Amino acid sequence: MTLLGFDFGPRKIGIAVGQTLTATASPLTTLRARGQRPDWNGIEALIHEWSPDALVVGLPRNMDDSETHLVPRIRRFAHRLEGRFRLPVHLVDERLTTLEARRLMGRRTRAREGVDAVAAQLILETWLRGH
């Protein structure tokens, strides 16, 4: 099974691709939002290119297990993904993935531009380990 993973943010969305066969994921790209709305054309192009069987969206939680202020927006994004592309969408706890992605990428300014795609990779790897 091929999957696309999403690290949703109001200004940009990191995207990764992974496979259940190898249980691995790789960062793909980061799409910038347009007027605080996801780049649906960019997402559609990636879905057409990769033909995923399912989608995985990171759901941010605080360390005390409470939901962050972005959760309602992310749930709406996941619901729209499911409706638009008729694919199953799985939500997975993404706590600390952006911090870990930044740590993995180091301090290089250019590399930090891809931090959202690496966070999406970590989200997808979390889902793959659990399934």
Under 8 Å CB-to-CB from 113, ≥6 apart: which residues? Answer: 30
Per-residue pLDDT, averaged over 114-126, amounts to 89
pLDDT at 109: 47
Of 87, 101, 1, the residue nearest 43 (C-alpha): 87
- What mean pLDDT is predicted for residues 107-118? 67
The sign of the dihedral angle between the CA atoms of 67, 80, 37, 39 is positive
Whether 61 contacts 98, CB under 8 Å: no
User: How many domains is the chain built from?
Assistant: 1
User: Which residues are CB-neighbours of 76 under 8 A, at least 6 positions away?
Assistant: none
pLDDT score at 112: 55
pLDDT digits (tens, 9 = 90+) for 14-72: 999 999 999 999 999 999 988 889 999 999 999 999 999 999 999 987 777 777 788 89
* 25 neighbors 128 (Cβ within 8 angstroms): yes
Residue 108 scores a pLDDT above 90: no
Handedness of CA 61, 4, 102, 126 (dihedral sign): positive
* Average pLDDT rounded to a whole number, residues 98-127: 73
Tell me the average pLDDT of the chain: 87
CATH (domain of 23)? 3.30.420.140
pTM for the full model? 0.86
pLDDT at residue 10, as a whole number:
87
Structure tokens at 8: 């949703």
Q: Give the structural domain span for 23.
A: 2-130
